[in-house]
Each structure stands twice: as structure tokens, then as C-alpha cells.
Amino acid sequence: MSRRRGIMSESFKEELAKELGFYDTVKSEGWGGIKARDAGNMVRLAIEKAETTMNGTKNQHDD
């Protein structure tokens, strides 16, 4: 069975991990070393960033 390709780029995930304060864990243990709560917070932050980007793009077109 092939591994499913992720939606978020590795660099974006690393950026989020740094922002949320658990990048050291990712560096030392890999993504499997993070807590479920950290993973959830990472997804939440990614969604917030996407919504902000979409709203900014939408507002630019409303002018």
C-alpha cells in the first residue's frame, strides 16, 4: 500500500511547529514524537492561516 502524500509541505509544518514551540521534539524524535494535542493545534493554526489568506485575497477582489 502506498503512503498518502500530505497536504501541508514539510517546510510549512516545520514553521507551524516552531511557532507552537515543539519543533525541538520534531527535530529529535520526528513527527511521531509530538503529542496529539500538538498535532491538533498545528492543524488549527494551519486552518487559521489559510482562512486569513483567503479573506485577504477575497478583500483584494472586493475593491
Buried b or exposed e, range 21-31, using 16+ CB within 10 angstroms: ebbebbeeeee
Q: Is 2 helix (H, G, I), strand (E, B) or coil?
A: coil
Residue 48 included in any domain: yes
Residue 4 included in any domain: no
pLDDT at residue 40 greater than cutoff 80: yes
Residue 22 included in any domain: yes
Total domains in the fold of the chain: 1
6-21 pLDDT per residue, tens? 788 999 999 999 999 9
20-31 pLDDT per residue, tens? 999 999 999 999
Residue 35 included in any domain: yes
DSSP conformation class of 22: -
Strand runs labelled E in 1-63 = none
Q: Domain limits at 57? A: 10-61
Residue 23 included in any domain: yes
> Which residues does 20 contact at the CB level (< 8 Å), separation at least 6?
38, 41, 42, 45
30, amino acid identity: G
